[in-house]
Each structure stands twice: as C-alpha cells, then as structure tokens.
C-alpha cells in the first residue's frame, strides 16, 4: 500500500522531526516524510532532514508582508511536493483559520503539556509554579483555536521534587518522541476517526495502570 506522504513543519532543533524520521524508517511504517519546511533559515532540524536525504524548503516568515502571503508560499511548497498530511513539530508560527481549515483533519501538532491544560508557551515554567504532580505531552489535530483540537495520544509524565525547567523539559521531550511516531502510525494505518471532535482509534489497548506521584513504601 502507498505510504502517506507527510510534511513536517519546524522552527528549530527538530528533535521531534528526528523521532518521526526514525519512526518512518521502521520496516512497514505506513508514512514517509516527503518534505521538511522551516520558517527559520538556520533551524537545526534542516540538517537532520538533509542527513536523512529528505527534501527541505525554507519559507522565512520575515520575507512576507502578511500571514496569508506566507501561507500561500507554504501551500505552494506542500502541494508541489504532493504532500497529503502535515505534522507540526516545534513550528512556532500561528496558522490562520484559512490554512487550518484547508488542511482540516490532515494537520496535527505536538504540544508539551496534557492539553487542555497549559496551552501556549512556557508550559514547564507554569507547571513547576503550580506544583502539579503530573504533566505530559499531547498529539492533537489542529483547529483554528491555538493548542486545541481532537486529542490522539497523550503521555503523562511525573514532575519530580527537584525538577528545574530543563530536567522536566527533557523528561517530557522523551515522551514526545514516543508519542509522535505512534500517533502518525495510527493515523496512516487508517485506525483513527473523528466524530463530534472526539477521536476513536480502532484496534488499540489502553493501560489500566494508575500512576501516583509521589510514592513511598508503605
Ligand atoms: C517541543 O517540546 C514541542 O512540543 C514544542 O516545541 C518543542 C520543539 O522541540 N512545541 C510547542 O510548544 C508548540 N506549541 P523540537 O524542535 O526538538 O521538536
């Protein structure tokens, strides 16, 4: 069966892009990355794509007078490469409702919190300030409202007493790298359906485990 032709949109480091590259390299993986687009010319993720032999494209938002023109250039690159599906992976530009609706149900994002909690930036700083015991990450379909949309996969990540932002971010990022290829696999396998903005996934298991944090021997 033909593999789903995916574009990954990045703005920086590209560690989630790398997780997707590695996931797609697995035998029988139902998706391939046909194009990586960055809105910043010096994004480290572009090197990762080039090393993997994936076509790259820069659409520098600073070169465009408004968001519509920027997104027209994005769409030209995407359609020119025959892209069927988009993964946002640390893509730090807000997309207009026009773009989001054009790619509705073919556009997903990863966010470093357990949505709908902690939308927006600086999630780990706010998690630490609130003293919550769990945070996590979420892969979701993109809707016009920021960090909102049907949830595909989440991972719960414990917050440790001695965490600082960097330690917590690294623990969440490791979970992101597991969740993103998993979500893409399930979608490209055709297991995922959306009804009334709630997702159903065929042929999956959910763990019964209850996670408690913190714990003591008792
Ligand atoms: C990731 O933690 C991702 O969840 C976050 O940016 C980081 C990108 O890292 N995305 C957002 O905050 C989007 N709202 P990466 O470039 O190494 O994948």
Catalytic residue positions, numbered:
111
What is the rounded CA–CA span in Å between residue 102 and residue 123? 28
Residue 64 lies in a domain: yes
Residue 209 lies in a domain: no
Other CB atoms within a 10 A radius of the CB of residue 52 amount to 16
Domain that holds residue 103: 4-201
Residue 74 lies in a domain: yes
Closest ligand 1 atom, residue 169 Cα: 2
Q: How far is the CA of 16 from the centre of ligand 1 (A)?
A: 7
Closest ligand 1 atom, residue 44 Cα: 16
**CATH number for position 96:** 3.40.50.170
pLDDT at 86: 99
Pairing type for strands 192-195 and 198-201 reads antiparallel
Report residues of the chain scoring pLDDT below 70. Answer: none
Residue 189 tokens, joined: 């396998």
Give the largest Cα separation in the chain, rounded.
Answer: 63
Residue 83, CA distances (Å) to 14, 193, 214 in order: 19, 20, 45
Residue 213 lies in a domain: no
- Give the chain's domain count: 1
pLDDT at 1: 77
Q: Is 34 in the pocket of ligand 1 (CB under 6 A)?
A: no
Residue 217 lies in a domain: no
Overall pTM > 0.95 = yes
Residue 144 lies in a domain: yes
Nearest CA to ligand 1 atom 14: 111
Q: How far is the CA of 96 from the centre of ligand 1 (A)?
A: 19
Residue 188 lies in a domain: yes
């Amino acid at each position: 069966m033909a593999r789903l032709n995916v574009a990954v949109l990045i703005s920086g480091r590209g560690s989630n892009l790398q997780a997707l590259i590695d996931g797609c390299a697995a035998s029988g993986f139902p998706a391939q990355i046909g194009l990586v687009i960055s809105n910043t010319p010096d994004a480290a993720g572009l090197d990762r794509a080039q090393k993997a032999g994936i076509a790259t494209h820069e659409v520098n938002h600073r070169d465009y007078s408004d968001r519509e023109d920027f997104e027209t250039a994005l769409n030209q690159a995407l359609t020119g490469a025959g892209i069927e599906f988009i993964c946002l992976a640390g893509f730090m530009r807000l997309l207009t409702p026009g773009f989001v609706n054009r790619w509705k149900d073919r556009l997903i994002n990863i966010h470093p919190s357990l949505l709908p909690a902690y939308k927006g930036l600086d999630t780990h700083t706010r998690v630490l300030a609130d003293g919550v015991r769990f945070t996590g990450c979420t892969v979701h379909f993109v809707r016009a409202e920021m960090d909102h949309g049907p949830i595909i996969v989440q991972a719960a990540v414990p917050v440790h007493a001695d965490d600082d932002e960097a330690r917590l971010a690294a623990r969440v990022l490791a979970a992101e790298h597991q969740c993103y290829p998993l979500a893409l696999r399930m979608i490209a396998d055709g297991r995922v359906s959306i009804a009334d903005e709630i997702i159903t996934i065929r042929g999956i298991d959910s763990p019964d485990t209850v996670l408690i944090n913190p714990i003591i021997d008792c």
